[in-house]
Chain A
Amino acid sequence: MNSIIQTTIEFLKAFWAPLLSGVAIVAILPLIVGYIVLVERKLMADMQARLGPMRVGPHGLLQPIADAVKLLIKEDIIPDNADKLVFWLAPVVSVGAALLSLAGLAIGPAFQIAQDINIGILFVVGVSALGIFGIVLGGWASNSHYSLMGALRSSAQLVSYETAAGMALVSALLFAGTLNIKSIVEAQSNEGIWFVMLAPVAFFTYLVASIAETNRAPFDLPEAESELVAGYMTEFSGFRWSLYFLAEYANMIVVASVATTLFLGGWLRPFAKVHELAGFHLLNFLDFVPLLLMVVIGVYCVQRAPKQPTRVQQMFMLAVAGLCFVLGLVLLAPVVVPVAKPFYAGIHGGFWFILKVSLYIYFFMWLRFTIPRYRFDQLMRLGWHFLIPLSIVNVLLVGVALIAGSYFNLKGWGLLLVTTPAAIMALIVALLILAADRERGARQDQAAASDSYAG
């Protein structure tokens, strides 16, 4: 008995910080996801010349909470012939994998839950890929044809696109020379250049593959509502459904963070190196950008507050403004007070990281409302005939460019001299593949037209 208590104390002593942050993530993530969904609906409305959710709170700002309450009190239906245990397990697996992979991410130089694991990026990618079992098992356990079709499509899609995504990651990792997330960002800081400039083709490949991996439009075939009702989620309702939803958005955050870390310089400010260069001090105004952004949003909210129809909404608007000002003050501190820089630098790092992740997710949404859904055979053709060959060729070219770079002793921006030709050659290869594929594609399209259903 004594030893059990001792072990527990030992465990808590060693792991209290990760445990606490884990609990915090589980508590906060649903809220964040709720607001991402709200932003998505607002964006969709804007692009379609509508207003979007307006009823709950000013400009629908409380809509996520109303949605959450609705989902929680909805009746929980399990189909009669479903495999009950697997049906219960599947959404949990999906959301568990997504949450676990968040633990490996570093939001700033100081904030990372699983500190300094030397396989960092592999951990994030590998664990988040486990979420596929939630989808596949859920689709199978529902005992419905639509669900099963969705599950099959999902696993085929994931297996195909993971190769391309992995190859894209490899090209960026060649520059970093490490798998540790912190060291990857530090490598970009030392080189003074983000890897997206050095490996643009790899970034593009990862961008496309990550959309397919998160099952987002235009690659959302596992839940294509015009063909499969809701795909693998057809039989799920209420809370279970919301778990799937949570997992999907958490996965978006994960892929966006991976792309940010590897290609977009993680928590680094744009032009992070110019602190040390003479003559470029003007660019340091970028340090004030986070602060300015917060103040502008706050002032806008204060200005709009009197125009709200009810008193509650006015108060809410003012509260949002106050929150922005407080955040602004927090972001002001590192610029004014130079002491204790590492901690404050973490705050600014967090701002830039979150900004980049948000832009990446914004791009996902933009694509969703712009491009129509692919057909399943088109999706497979894009993956196997275009993305995978392109990414493999790109890894080769980047490797050759790196060797040439080390031969001529190039560093930082100088590396562009060798990587740009490599990128151009990769582009030529891409065009060649597309040209070769177009003829074959035309033939397949004819076949598919007479077949009417492919998948």
Chain B
Amino acid sequence: MLDKVLFYFFASIAVASAVLMVTRRNVVHSAIFLITALLATAGIFLQLRAEFLFIVQIILYVGGIMVLFVFVIMLVNLDVALQQIQFARQKWVALFVTLALAAQVGLMFWTSGKMPGGLPVLTAAAAAKLSPNSEIVARSLFESYLLPFEIASVLLLVAMIGAVGMAKKRA
């Protein structure tokens, strides 16, 4: 019961703040709601006993990326930004993509009734059974998925060097 209450608490916060983030006209308010949505998602991670993912979500997304977001937003002149039309006018594309996604999710729910065992249920592992979280993540990253991990890090490195190079040219 407690688990359910906590899950619906975090989930409703996440969904509501995601909606608010898209609909607010003020960019800073949007950023605040994005932060709330990220924190609520972190809460759901914590409920699944994925402690490491929880703290990585907070440190990287909230503490790192969002600080930079807010930093950049503050450099923008908000009064000018408010007068501009902020919403992209790709209504039809958006509608199509949303419908496709909704159909996909609906299909999953519809077919799951016929599947043996119903929807796959995610359950939190017993705390005693779990070896340290960070260790599991490290092992899967550096043993099972070493190549994709290295490719991703090379990609990030290229992006970083590219950004520095472009910034240097301007100055």
List the B residue with the shortest CB-CB distance to A178: B132
List the B residue with the shortest CB-CB distance to A124: B55
Q: Which residues of B contact A123 (CB under 8 A)?
A: 55
Q: Which residues of B contact A119 (CB under 8 A)?
A: 51-52, 54-55, 133-134
Number of A-B contacts (CB under 8 A): 79
CA A118 to CA B52, docked complex, whole Å: 8
Mask of A237-269 contacts with B, CB within 8 angstroms, 1/0: 000000000000000000000000000000000
Q: Are B71 and A137 in contact (CB under 8 A)?
A: no
Q: Are B63 and A126 in contact (CB under 8 A)?
A: yes
**B68 contacts A by Cβ under 8 Å:** yes
Q: Are A129 and B63 in contact (CB under 8 A)?
A: yes
CA A130 to CA B59, docked complex, whole Å: 8
Q: Are B134 and A151 in contact (CB under 8 A)?
A: no
Q: Which residues of A contact B80 (CB under 8 A)?
A: none
List the A residue with the shortest CB-CB distance to B63: A129
Mask of B55-96 contacts with A, CB within 8 angstroms, 1/0: 100110011101110110011000000000000000000000
**A209 contacts B by Cβ under 8 Å:** no
Q: Are A126 and B70 in contact (CB under 8 A)?
A: no
Q: Answer whether A7 and B58 are a contact pair too, CB < 8 Å, given A136-B67, A136-B71.
A: no
Q: Are B133 and A118 in contact (CB under 8 A)?
A: yes
Q: Which residues of A contact B71 (CB under 8 A)?
A: 136, 152, 155-156, 159
The DSSP consensus for interface residues of chain B is helix
Q: Answer whether A179 and B32 are a contact pair too, CB < 8 Å, given A119-B55, A126-B58, A129-B63.
A: no
**A132 contacts B by Cβ under 8 Å:** yes
Q: Which residues of B contact A125 (CB under 8 A)?
A: 59
Q: Are A159 and B1 in contact (CB under 8 A)?
A: no
**A453 contacts B by Cβ under 8 Å:** no
List the B residue with the shortest CB-CB distance to A158: B67
CA A11 to CA B70, docked complex, whole Å: 36
**A67 contacts B by Cβ under 8 Å:** no
CA A122 to CA B1, docked complex, whole Å: 29
Mask of A314-346 contacts with B, CB within 8 angstroms, 1/0: 000000000000000000000000000000000
Mask of A78-120 contacts with B, CB within 8 angstroms, 1/0: 0000010010010000000000000000000000000001110
CA A156 to CA B54, docked complex, whole Å: 25
Q: Are B74 and A3 in contact (CB under 8 A)?
A: no
**B115 contacts A by Cβ under 8 Å:** no
Q: Which residues of A contact B70 (CB under 8 A)?
A: 133, 136-137, 140, 155
Given contacts A6-B1, A136-B67, A178-B132, 12 further A-B contacts (CB under 8 A): A83-B26, A119-B134, A126-B58, A126-B63, A132-B67, A133-B66, A140-B74, A155-B67, A155-B68, A155-B71, A159-B64, A159-B71
List 6 A-B residue pairs with CB atoms under 8 Å apart, sorted by A's residue number: A83-B26, A89-B32, A127-B58, A133-B35, A155-B70, A179-B132
- Nearest 7 A-B pairs (CB), nearest first? A126-B59, A129-B63, A118-B132, A122-B55, A155-B71, A7-B1, A119-B51
